[in-house]
């Protein structure tokens, strides 16, 4: 046995004649770094390179977490500092609807009042059906007095200014000041309209004019509405914010019902004041948005803040 050479065992799969499965069209093997046991490796490499160059990678959950981390840090900083929430930017279509539609309806009602149009006949009929003077309706109407509505606005404005100053907000006086200016400008808008239209009162009111539009309705809508707008950014709970808006709506409707039921105003006087007040409050909302965003950027120490439509 010594000195003899043991023959090597034959391969289980001897090479086949002709070009191998991994050879290219010219019969030559590609370099080793492109070969793989599956066959045609250059095709896989080419497809992977093409797809990676043409398709954007789908963000995974960790990627999304990293992208949203700056927003969460800014929100946490605002929450910890006790800063107001930043209202979202409303779409242009929504703003056009909130301003254009009430302004158009107010113009239509004013045109009917000045020109003694047919709409006044329906207004008189509704008033006759609703007027039932009583103490309850008088109390509801009194909620629109300047002596009642304006002190409520002053209290809310003072509270918001105090919260902003304690939280270190740079422009803590911005939103309260804008609400106060709007309330001060309201008589300059309503009184000239009363003098221009010269509309008389209902059958239960003494002779006179200056009933259009309703000053009590405008005072209640603007005072309580401005108070709600400046208070909402400081309310954290969604239910609480909904309650603030609901209280504003109930107060305005209560004042409107009391005025018509008591006979202090025609129904169209009240509806016209709704339209006018909605336009003014929308302008206040547009003013408060940039103030709140600028305040939070400076107080939270961030360069920008992305917000969505509201």
Provide the residue-wise pLDDT of the chain in tens; the chain has 310 residues.
444 554 454 444 555 544 444 454 555 554 544 444 444 555 555 555 555 544 445 444 444 445 554 445 444 444 444 445 544 455 667 777 888 999 999 999 999 999 999 999 999 999 999 999 999 999 999 999 999 999 999 999 999 999 988 888 888 888 999 999 999 999 999 999 999 999 999 989 988 889 999 999 999 999 999 999 999 988 888 999 999 999 999 999 999 999 999 999 999 999 999 999 999 999 999 988 766 654 444 444 443 343 333 2
The angle at the Cα of 16, spanning 11 to 21, to the nearest 5 degrees, equals: 110
Residues 144 and 271 both lie in one domain: yes
| φ, ψ dihedrals at 10, nearest 5° | -65, 145
Is there a single domain that holds both residue 45 and residue 183? no
Are residue 28 and residue 141 in the same domain, yes or no? no
Q: Which residue bears the tokens 């793989």?
A: 36
On whether the CB atoms of residues 296 and 77 are closer than 8 A, the answer is no
Q: How far apart are CA 81 and CA 27, in angstroms?
A: 73
| Nearest-angstrom CA–CA distance, 270 and 274 | 6
| Residue at 97 is within a domain | yes
Assess whether 189 and 265 both reside in one domain.
Answer: yes
Which residues face 209 on adjacent strands? 200
Whether 101 is in a domain gets the answer yes
104 and 230 both lie in a single domain: yes
Per the structure, the complete domain to which residue 251 belongs is given by 91-300
Binning the chain into helix, strand and coil, the percentages to the nearest 5 are 65, 0, 35
Q: How many domains does the chain have?
A: 2
Q: pTM for this structure?
A: 0.68
Tell me, yes or no, whether 34 and 152 share the same domain: no
Asked if residue 85 is part of any domain, the answer here is: no
For residues 41 and 137, state if they share a domain: no
């Amino acid at each position: 046995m010594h000195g003899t050479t043991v023959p090597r065992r034959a391969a289980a799969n001897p090479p086949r004649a002709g070009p191998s499965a991994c050879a290219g069209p010219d019969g030559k093997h590609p370099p080793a770094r492109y070969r793989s046991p599956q066959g045609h490796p250059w095709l896989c490499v080419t497809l992977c390179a093409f797809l990676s160059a043409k398709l954007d990678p789908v963000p995974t959950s960790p990627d999304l977490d990293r992208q949203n981390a700056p927003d969460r840090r800014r929100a946490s900083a605002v929450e910890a500092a006790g800063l107001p929430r930043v209202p979202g930017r409303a779409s242009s279509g929504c703003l056009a609807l909130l301003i254009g539609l009430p302004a158009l309806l107010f113009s239509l009602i004013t045109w009917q009042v000045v020109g003694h149009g047919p709409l006044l006949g329906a207004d008189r009929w509704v008033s006759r059906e609703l007027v039932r003077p009583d103490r309850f309706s008088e109390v509801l109407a009194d909620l629109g007095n300047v002596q009642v509505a304006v002190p409520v606005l002053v209290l809310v404005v003072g509270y918001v200014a105090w919260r902003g100053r304690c939280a270190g907000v740079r422009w803590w006086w911005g939103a309260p000041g804008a609400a106060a200016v709007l309330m001060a400008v309201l008589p300059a808008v309503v009184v000239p309209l009363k003098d221009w239209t010269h509309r008389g009162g209902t059958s239960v009111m003494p002779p006179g004019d200056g009933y259009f539009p309703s000053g009590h309705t405008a005072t209640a809508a603007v005072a309580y509405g401005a108070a709600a707008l400046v208070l909402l950014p400081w309310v954290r709970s969604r239910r609480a914010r909904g309650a603030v808006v609901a209280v504003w709506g109930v107060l305005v409707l209560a004042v409107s019902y009391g005025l018509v039921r008591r006979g202090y105003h025609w129904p169209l006087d009240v509806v016209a004041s709704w339209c006018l007040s909605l336009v003014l409050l929308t302008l206040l909302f547009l003013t408060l948005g940039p103030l709140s965003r600028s305040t939070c950027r400076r107080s939270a120490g961030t360069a920008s803040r992305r917000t969505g439509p509201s």
